[in-house]
């Protein structure tokens, strides 16, 4: 077990709604990254937060946004949900931003109807 916890584990939303996913990073880790994994695919990088600032972003539209809190926990917010947003959302924590090992949580499975 990595010590990275995510909530909720499963949720169902309808198109156009908004969702917030939460992540508690491993103790001592100051960097959180979020990934989206569609069924049968590898995870795709959404963004990374380091010390409460966005520190890199993948090819995702602005309706994907995030926050990191002083205790290094993090939220992923998705507005105006689309059917293609249905995926497993994975949070990963690491010590610092660059070259260290990433530790992943169990993910939040989002279904958009």
Binding positions for another protein, rule: CB under 8 A? 2, 4, 6, 33, 35, 40-45, 48, 55-56, 58, 88, 90, 92, 97-99, 101-107, 109
Nearer to another protein (CB atom), residue 84 or residue 101: 101
Secondary-structure percent of the chain, ordered helix, strand, coil, rounded to 5? 5, 50, 45
Question: Strands 53-57 and 44-50: what pairing?
Answer: antiparallel
CB of 71 to another protein, least distance (A): 21
Nearer to another protein (CB atom), residue 42 or residue 62: 42
CB of 76 to another protein, least distance (A): 15
CB of 49 to another protein, least distance (A): 11
Nearer to another protein (CB atom), residue 25 or residue 48: 48
Tokens 């689309």 — which residue? 82
93-105 residues labelled b (16+ CB within 10 A) or e (exposed): bbeeeeeeebbbb
Cα(23)–Cα(40) distance, rounded to whole angstroms?
23
CB of 55 to another protein, least distance (A): 6
Cα(60)–Cα(50) distance, rounded to whole angstroms?
18
């Amino acid at each position: 077990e990595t010590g990275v916890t995510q909530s909720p584990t499963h949720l169902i939303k309808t198109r156009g709604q908004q969702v917030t996913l939460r992540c508690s990073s491993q103790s001592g880790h100051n960097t959180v990254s979020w990934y989206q994994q569609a069924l049968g695919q590898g995870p795709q990088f959404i963004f990374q937060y380091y010390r409460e600032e966005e520190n890199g972003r993948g090819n995702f539209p602005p309706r994907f946004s995030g926050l990191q809190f002083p205790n290094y926990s993090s939220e992923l917010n998705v507005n105006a949900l689309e059917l293609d947003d249905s995926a497993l959302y994975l949070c990963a924590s690491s010590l610092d931003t660059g070259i260290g090992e990433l530790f992943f949580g169990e993910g939040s499975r989002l279904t958009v109807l």
